[in-house]
Every structure is written in structure tokens, then in C-alpha cells.
Amino acid sequence: MPELPETETIARDLHAAIAGSVIISVEVLRRDVLRDVSAARVRQSLTSRTVSRAWRRAKSVVLSLDHDAHLVVTPRFTGALILGAAAAEDRYACVRMGLEDGRELRYTDVRRLGTVAFLSSDAFAEWSAALGPEPLDADFTVERFSGCLRGSKRAVKAVLMDQSRLAGVGNIYANEALWRAGVRPSRRASSLTRRERATLHAELTAVLHAAVAARGTSFRDYRDAFGARGGFASQLQAYGRGGQPCTRCGLPLKSSHAIDGRATVWCAGCQQ
């Protein structure tokens, strides 16, 4: 599932490539990806609109349009926003948007678990307000991060992945940040000391920046806005490495699905 680094990569690519572009045609091929909006309204609302900005909020790519409206695309497991020449055929295309210069922006989704929403300014503000702070923002301080963790009796990994507490972090980077910080994923979030919170904050932001620099992590489905794979998989130290030696202490990494049913990988030797 595309997380913060992957959707950040897509959003940055799209902003550089289509900010200021006018959408001249819209075709909805798979209506089941639309959320709380009809295909007719999507076509009517997007046609002849200018893309003012492409950016990211949590795990979603946001296309902000003129006249205070937003197209919010959440790719989830197999979704992708692909920019390029108009394709005669794409069996997985769900929404196709033709641009005035002849290029096409397609939302494709093999399993169609992602969503496309068209939100007014007020609806967008309400949706965004339900999400936690952004880890890449300049004001995401240790104190603010501590506020996300403080008082929670849940496993620290579950709190990191709770989008209402912290936006954009998913299973890959929660595993990686906790391994880097030497914190056991099942620890109660409230049990972390001030020093542990500071270390986890530093390692979380560091791994997210490193993954953005590598243009995300691709295992099978994730592609950037031009269809290329991300390069961070070779730098993973925990996620996907259950049973392999810990690169820090050499013990075999443990693996479990006990926390929220997601794959958790950790080192029993050096994560306390």
C-alpha cells in the first residue's frame, strides 16, 4: 500500500508536471472507485478546470483545482496515478483525464480498492481535520510527536499507523522506524521515555526522508507518476526480512501479525 514516501513522490512529480494545466476531458470507466460523488458530477466538475497544485495529505494525492475544489485520490493497495500520452487501451484504468496539451492523467487500480473523491473546500477541510500531523512538516517537533504517543495504552506501532494521530505512516515505515530506534513494536506507546520518544522521532523522520529520496518502496504494485519503480526496498532493515539476521546484532528477526493483523518484524535482541 502506498504510504507517505510513495504518495509524496507521486504528488511532487505531478505538481512539477501538471500545475497550471487545464483538464479538457474526463472519462469514468470504473464507478466503484468514486466516493460520495456520481460519475456525471465528476465529469462536470473536473472538465475545464485548472490544476492549481498537486500535493499530499496523509496517504492521499490531492489535486487542488481553481475555485476551491479538490480531487483526492487514495491509491491503497494497487492504485496508481500515471501521467503520459493518451493510451488507446488500459484494462485497469478507472478514471481518465485528458489535458489540454494532449497528455493524459489516468487513475488505474487492479483490485479497485483505492478511492477517488471530489471535495469542496469545506468538505476537504473537514476530511483533513480528522487526520493527524504530517511527519515531514517543519512544525513536527519532538513535543508534537510525544503528544501523539502520550496517554495511549496501545502498541506503539499501532499508534504510529493510526492516521488520526499521525498522518501518512503505514506498515513499512512503522517497522523501519521502530527497528532503527531500537523500540519493540508491541511496547505501550505511553511507556516510552522522553529519550526514546526523541530517538523514535528522529529515526521516523529520517527514514521517511530517505525513502522519499529513493522515490519510495516498490515490491509489486507501486509505481510513480511515470510508471517507474521506487528504489528504497534495498535499504529496508526490518520490513519483509522476518527470519533473516538482524543487520545490527545478527539474531534472526521475529515476525508476527499480532498487532492489528499487519506483518510486524522486529529484533528481540536489540529492540527493547
Identify the pLDDT of residue 241: 98
Amino acid making up residue 121: S
CA dist 215 and 10 (Å) reads 9
Catalytic residue IDs:
2-3, 59, 262
> Which residues belong to CATH 3.20.190.10 in the chain?
4-129
Identify the pLDDT of residue 1: 77
Helix and strand tally (H, E) in the chain? 7, 10
Q: What CATH number has the domain spanning 142-266?
A: 1.10.8.50
> Which residues belong to CATH 1.10.8.50 in the chain?
142-266
Domain 4-129 has CATH 3.20.190.10: yes
As beta bridge partners, residue 69 has 65, 120
pLDDT tens per residue across all 272 residues of the chain: 799 999 999 999 999 999 999 999 999 999 999 999 999 999 999 999 999 999 999 999 999 999 889 999 999 999 999 999 887 778 999 999 999 999 999 999 999 999 999 999 999 999 999 999 999 999 999 999 999 998 899 999 999 999 999 999 999 999 999 999 999 999 999 999 999 999 999 999 999 999 999 999 998 889 999 999 999 999 999 999 999 999 999 999 999 999 999 999 999 999 99
SS3 at position 119: strand
Identify the pLDDT of residue 67: 86
CA dist 267 and 14 (Å) reads 38
Identify the pLDDT of residue 220: 84
Identify the pLDDT of residue 17: 98
CA dist 116 and 34 (Å) reads 5
Q: What is the pLDDT of residues 247-267, one digit of tens each?
A: 999 999 999 999 999 999 999
- Residue 201 has φ and ψ, to the nearest 5°, of -60, -45
